[in-house]
Chains A and B, each alone.
Chain A
Amino acid sequence: MSSNLWRSAAPSQSMDRSLKPMSETTHKRPRPIGGSHDHSHDHTEPPSEIELRVKALESLLVDKGLVDPAALDALIDTYEHKVGPQNGAKVVARAWADSAFKAALIEDATAAIASFGYTGRQGKHMVVVENSDTVHNLVVCTLCSCYPWPVLGLPPVWYKSAPYRSRAVSAPRAVLAEFGTTVGDDVEIRVWDSTSEMRYLVLPQQPAGTDNWNEDQLAALVTRNSMIGVELARSPDGENADGVKS
């Protein structure tokens, strides 16, 4: 494995791992933090190694009396079925439909969002940043993966990976272009690096031609990516700003 060239002489856990034979049935593991890349080593692994490791750890902690499997099921169910970007979309739709709510949201996002019942883990301290004709906002966590869970759920893989985390701060226009988003040179791009427990949500611009829409209709135009700031909200004809059907 080429990466061994970078290591010190001391053996490490993953050097051992790299010496294990490939499984006969290749199994694509989830993408590494470092991103997808096409040089010599591939990422086929024995299919069950990490799966077994996690299973063994869970079982050990259950045996030690520290983990209740029912709690694990409830945690998974919460983020698979109850909490997700549909929450944030409702907040954005109300801000578009109700200027008093929008003002309250900008003034004290934590309280305004909590009025929907969206609060708690990874969202106790919220800030909403508003896009306009002159400002476009983009959220990143260069150091780890901070993300406003109560309004957006768990972050997508790309948000947690090196290609996004490295360049969102230094080359935001190029990053936006990778999402098909073009921001004019006269527009200031503000990148919010989530280095504390403050959590950031972008309030995208309301698409033209939706003035009389109700909140449910508006919420359908609000994508997760528009609330991270890598895309604009959908336009009412079902296309995003670049004419791509969504």
Chain B
Amino acid sequence: MNGVHDLGGMDGFGPIDAEPESEEPLFHAPWERRAFAVTLAMGALGQWSIDSARHARERQHPVDYLENSYYENWIVGLETLLIELGIVTSEELATGQAAGPAAEELQAHKLTGENVAAVLAIGSPTTMKGKKPPRFAVGGKVRAHPTHTIGHTRVPRYVRGRPGTIAGWHGVHIFADMSAHGLKEGQDLYSVRFEAKALWGVEDVGRGAVYVDLWDNHLEPA
């Protein structure tokens, strides 16, 4: 979707205004700790993919997305998923009162304190077995599809329709665009180099290129 989350190449957001590295706290309010941890703990139930979680944050109103702080967007996304999947009802969310316990098979997946280290270590690997050799070789000329999908996509707008070169092959990975909608399919994942001039059309950006990871479906020969 052409959401506001797809920020690459936009102007007007002002200075980066970074806090000095040595002074920045990991969390900027106590509730951020809990928002972070609740989101991870609920993700560990295995009811949605990280792609679905990203899409849930992206689907909110663009003004809200920008006005919210980072962990507010996490909470918006989490609440959206919980309601859409029927894990909590909107009434439970509004009142804060549980109408009843969650299904036992769901509770059985609850992340416990003693399992945290092991679950974090496992992470979420996305590699899959490939069925055939990759379509493109390193050095191959490609173009990012100009498609503007209404669902989730990991193709940033700023590369769509632009020519690039295959810089590397990462193997076969779960295709994020489908995974966000509950479908698990493996596709070749490539590192694609786009020359800065091909993206931004100006010379004065200096020598440079942007490398974007794109799946087979995102690319066509050029």
Residues of A within 8 A of B (CB): 3, 6-7, 12-14, 29-37, 50-51, 53-61, 63-68, 70-76, 78-80, 84, 119-125, 127, 140, 142-145, 153-154, 156-158, 160-173, 175, 178-179, 185-198, 223-225, 230, 246
Residues of B within 8 A of A (CB): 5-11, 13-19, 21-22, 24, 26-38, 40-42, 44-45, 50, 54, 57, 61, 63-73, 75, 78-79, 87-88, 92-93, 96-98, 100-102, 106-107, 110-117, 120-127, 154-156, 158, 170, 173-174, 176, 189, 191, 196, 199-200, 205-215
Instruction: State how many angstroms separate the Cβ of A33 from the closest Cβ of chain B.
Output: 5
- B21, B37, B199: the one contacting A71 at CB < 8 Å is B37
A72 pairs with B34, CB closer than 8 A: yes
B102 pairs with A7, CB closer than 8 A: no
B120 pairs with A121, CB closer than 8 A: yes
A29 to B209, CA, bound (A): 36
User: Known interface pairs A34-B13, A185-B206. Does A198 touch B34 (Cβ–Cβ under 8 Å)?
Assistant: no
Chain B binding surface, main DSSP class? mixed
B210 pairs with A191, CB closer than 8 A: yes
Report chain A residues within 8 Å CB of B42: 61, 66-67
A44 to B6, CA, bound (A): 27
A163 pairs with B17, CB closer than 8 A: yes
Report chain A residues within 8 Å CB of B176: 196-197
Instruction: State how many angstroms separate the Cβ of B34 from the closest Cβ of chain A.
Output: 5
Report chain B residues within 8 Å CB of A191: 208-211
B10 pairs with A162, CB closer than 8 A: yes
Report chain B residues within 8 Å CB of A71: 37, 41, 44, 110-113, 115-116
Report chain A residues within 8 Å CB of B116: 71, 74-75, 78
Instruction: State how many angstroms separate the Cβ of A122 from the closest Cβ of chain B.
Output: 7
Q: Which residue of A lies closest to B159 (CB)?
A: A193
A29-B69, A57-B96, A64-B101 given. 9 additional CB < 8 A pairs? A35-B14, A51-B31, A57-B75, A64-B102, A71-B44, A74-B113, A166-B9, A166-B10, A169-B210
Report chain B residues within 8 Å CB of A195: 154-156, 212-214
A50 to B33, CA, bound (A): 12
B102 pairs with A66, CB closer than 8 A: yes
A3 pairs with B123, CB closer than 8 A: no
A80 to B36, CA, bound (A): 12
A33 pairs with B65, CB closer than 8 A: yes
A63 to B5, CA, bound (A): 33
